[in-house]
Structure 1
Amino acid sequence: MTQWRNRDAFLRAGLREGTDFIAIDSEAVAAPMYRLAEVLRMGQGKGWTMVTAIAALSYPYFERLVWKRFGDAIRRGDYDIVHRITPLSPTTASPIAAKVAAAGVPFVLGPLNGGVPWPRGFDAERRREREWLSYVRGIYRLNPTHRHMMAAASLIIAGSRHTASEIPERFQGKVAWLPENAIDPARFNLVAAQQLALPLRARFVGRLVPYKGPQMLLDAMAAFLRDGRMVLDVVGDGPLEADLREQADRLGIAHAVTFHGQLPHDAVQTVLARANLLTFPSIREFGGGVVLEAMALGVVPVVEDYAGPGELVSDETGFLVPVGPRDRIVASLQACLQQILADPAVLPAKARAARRIALQDFTWDAKAARILSMYRDIAGPGGQSCGMRATL
């Protein structure tokens, strides 16, 4: 089951309505809430905590319609599992969780994600992103429906280790970690050559906003770009683009920085696959899909050791830069790049390891297999002895 606004995307993907999916029309409540969220977020792509909070107000109506349509079937045992995949936010309570559990059917949550705290020293970026509600986000824990949902769940899938740490201690025994992002090998099928002759080729891929760190990246790379030891390609657009171009001119590195703007997905792969490094100093990344995409191409990631990217990258597969105030990040990133330039011979081994792990553990098929294994663990004899029936 999915909300009505997703219907066209499901149809475009080739799924059959009424057989593969059912669209639940909760627009009577969802539509005005959506319009309110667009006003209160105060800018496109900003105020995600506000958007999540407003959406949470309309979500119980969606589940009420779901239960009205499927409650009797769930109570009859027509389904082995009920899995709430979205909303991703752990702050959104699920009113039907206790009803499903009372019917003797396992209820699954996740992968839950979000809520990564803003690091110290980035309060200006926090305000610029209109994240006013993030200051009081923890109030959701007072919602009794939220506690009932956690108690009713048979399995809670956490999309990040931070989100897993937010689950109350008494429920930790049913928490499983499974990052929400994955890659499609058919779409990321090139392999970076990892040619080590200077200049080394670095890429930044992402929205050009302060918390993604492109300004810090230019400052950290400036010396290496000026002296010809590195070049940088920037893929993405956003409100910082003009400022970044001016910064590149001011630092005397414009000749070594190429701004591509927003590119189609297949073109992003082409640009990434000509790189040695993905340099991505985002300080508040829930998932880090671009990190996995780079790893799948054999491009070595250089990321902040914080939140999503820091959970996907290890010393075997890339470089982790310690998080801190802005000046410390710039200095640490510069030192890391200096280390790489002093011994670029380490890159091919890291690239091979990154590619191996991405294709082994982080394809959609690999993650689907893990989900199915989790289903079997909680479904009981009936679900294991036949084709499991799950309502989503």
Structure 2
Amino acid sequence: MAVTTSPTRPRVLAIAEAANPEWVSVPLVGWSLASALREVADVHIVTQVRNRDAFLRAGLTEGRDFTAIDSEAIARPLWALAERLRMGEGKGWTMVQTINAIAYPWFERLVWQRFGPGIRAGKWDVVHRITPLSPTISSSLAGHCAKAGVPFVLGPLNGGVPWPQGFDAERRQEKEWLSYLRSVYKLLPGRGATLRHAAAVLVGSRHTEGEIPARHRPKTIYLPENGIDPSRFNRVAAPEPGVLRACFVGRLVPYKGPDMLLDAAAPLLRVGRLRLEVIGDGPMRADLEAQAARAGTGAAVTFHGWKAHHEVQDIMARCHLLSFPSIREFGGGVVLEAMALGVVPLVVDYAGPGELVAPGTGLKVPCGRREGIVRDMGAALAALAVDPSGLPAMAAAARARVQDKFTWQRKAAQVAEVYDWLRRDPSGPAPKVF
């Protein structure tokens, strides 16, 4: 297997079981980070065979740039089982992660069979498992690498944000029965061994950082997992003067709160002081359209359904605000996308979105019960409808924050600081890269 090397750049074996430039969510994160790391290190990506064709279409050469591991004998039937057990498309995420935790060890076993001899021989300076992002899935590679004397980097890990109080109905609608038992993963022996053997653990949220046992905290490094490709989000928002325009982008499912947004915005929508663009689709769409009609706001709300990427940013760029009342968002990539365009985010201050929106770059309402979120988001919208003069400064600050911290190029540079630390003196304090 050919690997292009440099005397100064680290040689990195990047494990990204989920990595695909043509998909969204975790696979896109895996692809984006692994690809960006090729600019700062000599990287060979190891992924699952289902991603092979997309890698080839993206211009990578199999054998030189990446290896596709065929774990389908185990992965395919277990994935089919997960799809049956989740009881609805887009539901039962905890169930899917549980099944993935059963299937994934076989993938790592095949990776070790293929690359173990090279790792033991010192062919790689660092082994970095980028995906899975879930902190519930352990890694046998961590122990193998520790025995071989090769630093193993885990993460960015993120997930498992608790459901806020008062949203049990939404939790049941999402078929999240297993989420009540999720914390059991902390008792599994593989988790302790993985954290013990890892040389560095990248944590994508403060919640995940807080779940790492104290004895392992010195080697944890905070680094939100989401990033922006400037070539994909390359517009600058230019909303027309006059009425306040807001958008919602995402699946129309209970935990993202589109029904709360319609309730919060209803007084402004009815009198023509707000326009709302709803981009996305899902099981709630018919009910949301009926809700808007009952409230007398239908003329001021446009339900666009699913849109291609370029159409999404075209619609967003006509808006002042991303109004996004999600109450259980691990990463919040859509918040970064809005900020990159100069669309000011208005979010619930919880989990991913709450961490991404720094002071002066957007607005946050407290995460409480449903009625409190509706009240506070409605008040924020009403204040902006009266006086939107602060929005341009926030939009500019949001764009600057993304450029400074959240492009994939910047992410790669942040991870490269971790690699340099491990190669130079891992006994010293872990770097603060964010």
Please confirm whether the aligned pair reaches a TM-score higher than 0.5, indicating the same fold. Answer: yes
Identify unmatched segments of 5+ residues in structure 1. Answer: 382-392
1:45 equivalent to 2:90? Answer yes
- Choose the corresponding residue for 1:263, options 291, 307, 322: 307
What amino acid is aligned across from residue 75 of structure 2 in structure 1? A
Percent identical among aligned pairs is: 62
Q: How does 1:151-190 map to 2 (within 5 A)?
A: 151-190=196-235
Q: Does 1:132 align with 2:177?
A: yes
2:133 to 88, 97, 120: 88
**Map of 2:65 onto structure 1:** 20
- 2:343 matches 1:311: no
Which amino acid letter does the alignment assign opposite residue 185 of structure 1?
P
1:287-326 matched pairs, under 5 angstroms: 287-326=331-370
Q: Give the one of 179, 186, 204 matched to 1:141.
A: 186
Q: Indicate the residue corresponding to 2:101 in structure 1.
A: 56
- Which amino acid is the alignment partner of residue 289 of structure 2? R
Instruction: State how far apart, in whole Å, the 1-side matches of 2:283 and 2:185 are.
Output: 31
Q: Secondary structure at the match of 1:156?
A: strand
Residues 302 and 320, structure 1, Cα contact 8 Å, conserved in 2: yes
The structural deviation recorded for 1:287 is 0.8
User: Using the alignment, how far apart are the partners of 2:69 and 2:233 within structure 1?
Assistant: 34
Amino acid at match of 2:221: A
Structure-1 residue corresponding to 2:380? 336
Render the CA deviation track for 1:237-273: whole Å, top value 9, x for unaligned. Answer: 1111111111111000111001111000000010000
Please state how far the C-alpha of 1:194 moved relative to its aligned partner. Answer: 4.9
User: Is the contact made by 1:216 and 1:329 (CA closer than 8 Å) also made in structure 2?
Assistant: yes
Aligned amino acid, residue 78 of structure 1: K
Separation in structure 2 between the aligned mates of residue 266 and residue 359 of structure 1, nearest angstrom: 20
Q: State whether residues 159 and 180 of structure 1, in contact with CA within 8 Å, keep that contact through their aligned partners in structure 2.
A: yes
- Which one of the candidate residues 99, 107, 124 is aligned to 1:79? 124
Contact 2:201 2:220 in 1 (8 A): yes
Instruction: State how far apart, in whole Å, the 1-side matches of 2:281 and 2:130 are.
Output: 30
Indicate whether 1:150 and 2:150 are aligned.
no
Deviations for 1:166-220, whole angstroms, at most 9, x for unmatched residues?
111111111111111111111211111255x431010011101111111000100
DSSP-derived class of the 1:116 partner = coil
- Per-residue displacement from partner, 1:320-354 (whole Å, max 9, x unpaired)? 01011111110111111122223211101000000
- What is the rounded CA distance, in whole Å, between the counterparts of 2:302 and 2:385 in structure 1? 20
Instruction: Note if contact 2:239-2:245 (Cα within 8 Å) is conserved in structure 1.
Output: no
Q: Distance in 1 between matches of 2:239 and 2:308?
A: 23
User: Counterpart of 1:315 in structure 2: which amino acid?
Assistant: P
* Contact 2:239–2:317 (CA under 8 A) maintained in structure 1: no
CA shift at 1:28, angstroms?
Answer: 1.4
Q: Retained in 2: the 8 A contact 1:194–1:347?
A: no
- Which residue identity does 1:335 align to in structure 2? A
CA distance in 2, matches of 1:64, 1:158: 24
8 A Cα contact 2:243 2:385, kept in partner = no
- Residues 84-122 of structure 1 deviation map (CA, whole Å, 9 limit, x = unaligned): 111110100101211101111100000111100011111
Distance 1:125 1:205 in 2: 19
C-alpha distance in 2, partners of 1:78/1:333? Answer: 54
> What is residue 35 of structure 1 aligned with on the other side?
80
Gaps of 5+ in 2: 1-45, 426-434
Alpha-carbon shift at residue 44 of structure 1 (Å): 1.1
The equivalent residue for 1:235 is 279
Structure 1 residue ranges, 4+ long, deviating more than 2 angstroms after superposition: none
8 A Cα contact 1:89 1:114, kept in partner: yes
Matched, 1:119 2:168: no
Are 1:251 and 2:291 an aligned pair? no
Deviation of the 1:11 alpha carbon: 1.4
**Which position in structure 2 is the counterpart of 1:346?**
390
Distance in 1, Cα, partners of 2:80 & 2:223: 32
User: Normalising by the residue count of structure 2, what TM-score does the alignment of the two structures yield?
Assistant: 0.86
CA distance in 2, matches of 1:291, 1:26: 34
* Secondary structure of the structure 2 residue equivalent to 1:204: strand
Q: CA deviation at 1:13?
A: 1.4
Equivalents in 1 of 2:163, 2:96: separation in Å? 18
Instruction: Provide the secondary structure at the position in 1 that maps to 2:140.
Output: coil
Q: State the Cα deviation string for residues 7-39 of structure 1 (Å, max 9, x = none).
A: 122112111111111011111111111111111
DSSP-derived class of the 2:302 partner: strand
TM-score, normalised via structure 1 length: 0.95
Q: Which residue of 1 aligns with 2:38?
A: none
Q: Which amino acid aligns with 2:366?
A: P
Paired residue secondary structure (1:260): strand
- Which residue of 2 is the match for residue 65 of structure 1? 110
Name the Cα RMSD after superposition. Answer: 1.3
- 1:184-203 correspondence to structure 2 within 5 Å: 184-195=229-240, 197-203=241-247
Q: Distance in 2 between matches of 1:223 and 1:247?
A: 13
Q: SS state of the match for residue 17, structure 1?
A: coil
Secondary structure of 1:301's partner? strand
Q: Distance in 1 between matches of 2:110 and 2:139?
A: 13
Distance between the aligned counterparts of 1:86 and 1:189, measured in 2? 27
The separation in 2 between residues aligned to 1:338 and 1:288, in whole angstroms, is: 24
Contact 1:94/1:149, CA 8 A, preserved across alignment:
yes
1:136 alignment partner AA: L
User: Matches of 1:56 and 1:6 in 2, distance apart?
Assistant: 19
